[in-house]
Amino acid sequence: MGEDKRFLRYPRQAAKYRPVPERIGDFLPVEVALTEAEIVAQAARCMACGTPFCHGYGCPAMNVIPEFVEHVHHRRWRAALEVLLETNSFPEFTGRLCPAPCEAACMLEPVTGPTSIRQIELAVIEHGFASGAMAPAPPRRLGKSVAIAGSGPAGLAAADVLNRAGYQVVVYERARQPGGMLRYGVPDFKLDKSVIDRRLALMRAEGIHFETGVAVGEDVSRRYLAARFHAVLLAGGARQPRDLDVPGRHLEGIHFAMPYLVQQNKRGAGEPIAAPQIHAAGCKVLIIGGGDTGADCLGTAWRQGGAQVTQLEILPEPPRARSAATPWPLWPDKLRESTSHQEGGQRLWSTRATEFVGDAGRVCQVRCIKVAWTSPAGRRLPAPVDVPGTEFVLDADLVLLAMGFVGPGANRLVEDHGIQTDARGFVRRAANGMTSVPGIFAAGDLCQGPTLVVRALADGRRVAQGIAAWLEQGQRIQPGVDERAAE
């Protein structure tokens, strides 16, 4: 069979996972790495492609996928690493967490199944660490410095780009350890925190400083920052969760999903946990929200010993195969099962909770109703309408609200200095990432809303380039008026 037919010779090799009975007994990573032979075979499937939609359309980071995959095919691991790092600061994060829109746009996706690009990417960076290629390389300094508030994907990516360009970078993080949602929001079974620590050690060795337990705008003011830095980047993410305003919301046992996930990650790291502690052991757990956060709660609840777990989603169940409404190379509208869904539990679609019922002040049941999605006259988008006669009740003594995020939450620096925001509180910015206050930039979910890790990472890199261009013009942040100092 010719060189151009290897996509027929080698089938798609999807990710491998530990057996369910084994993995739900711990919080260790569920995914098992492909062998080098399997990775090289997957790379061979890519060699005949003449139109790389994966790169030009699918990948938010604009990874040059055909080039690094070709290097892998020939086992040129160092060359593959160099190409990958040109566009992606942290392939070890995206290679574990990204849903791989590049694979949805792969030329083979509608034919024989896409090339396993995510696994190839992960193999490249892991080979780089194992071989010693990911060694510290401190840059020559330019004599200018940048402060970054937030150490999630956007903040860390910006720090990486600016540091490599020669700027002295200090990253401020309000939590006890750096990493943002990577450390505190993503469960250990999806991202072992040793992966973050390994990268942070490299970044420190390259000259980046991390200051933890510090909230920019509260513990340090703009005047303080302007006296010590030439620019400031805000990368605090979107932290304001969507609530559910129904009767009984005040009852004990109803919590937002993120504090629940954060507590478990802190528990695994040996960090102190503030009361009330949220734990699923022996509980009948109801998760309201069918996205990734809800799935993470599902997997966590099983590992904590939940008695039963149900996930409620107001949207209708997607089709099993790609919908005609999202033809290739669009991100497909179809049913997806995470590793957590494969571990058990019930998923209820087109359903909403209408009331929480309590016993002695604690939730014990949730009243629900089925909905139909219709397009009323005068409305462009469909809306859920209750279906009479479909009411039912679920037993639940732990309810987790995982319905997404509606805004970035309070930010003292933004509020005190009049940084412009939209109606939902997301920071407005110029094309280069600068806010309405010269010298203060913003990146990631704080501006674009909750999104994928890879999109936040890509945005952090892009804004870092905007900061560098602005500083090259001889500009720097001005102190402005510090209201608290004036008082």
CATH number, domain containing residue 98 = 1.10.1060.10
Residue 49: pLDDT band by 50, 70, 90 thresholds?
confident
Q: What is the pLDDT of residue 127?
A: 98
Q: What is the pLDDT of residue 152?
A: 97
Are 13 and 26 in a shared domain? yes
Q: What is the pLDDT of residue 323?
A: 87
Distances (CA, A) of 263 to 33, 276, 279: 28, 10, 9
Residues 23-46 pLDDT 10s: 999 999 999 999 999 999 999 998
Task: Characterise 166 by phi-psi region: left (phi > 0), alpha (psi -120 to 50), beta (else).
Answer: left
Strand 392-395 with 440-442, pairing: unpaired
Contact 62, 87 (CB under 8 A): yes
Residue 3: pLDDT band by 50, 70, 90 thresholds?
low
| pLDDT of 484 higher than 60 | no
| pLDDT of 379 higher than 50 | yes
| pLDDT of 262 higher than 70 | yes
Are 53 and 163 in a shared domain? no
136 is a domain residue? no
**Domain end marker among 379, 403, 427:** 403
**Secondary structure letter of residue 174 according to DSSP:** S
Q: How far apart are CA 431 and CA 202, in angstroms?
A: 31
**Domain end marker among 353, 372, 403:** 403
**Helices 153-164 + 453-472 axis angle, to 10:** 40
Residues 425-482 pLDDT 10s: 999 999 999 999 999 999 999 999 999 999 999 999 999 999 999 999 999 998 865 4
Please state the domain count of the chain.
3
Contact 17, 32 (CB under 8 A): yes
Q: How far apart are CA 23 and CA 299, in angstroms?
A: 10
Residues 401-417 pLDDT 10s: 999 999 898 888 898 88
Are 117 and 218 in a shared domain? no
435 is a domain residue? yes
Residue 51: pLDDT band by 50, 70, 90 thresholds?
confident
Residues 122-141 pLDDT 10s: 999 999 999 999 999 999 99
Q: Which domain holds residue 264?
A: 251-403
**Domain end marker among 373, 403, 433:** 403
373 is a domain residue? yes
Q: How far apart are CA 171 and CA 212, in angstroms?
A: 8
Q: 3-class DSSP state for residue 9?
A: helix
| pLDDT of 160 higher than 90 | yes
Are 443 and 350 in a shared domain? no
140 is a domain residue? no
Are 54 and 75 in a shared domain? yes
Are 354 and 462 in a shared domain? no
Are 335 and 477 in a shared domain? no
CATH number, domain containing residue 428 = 3.50.50.60
Distance of alpha carbon 32 from its chain centroid, rounded?
21
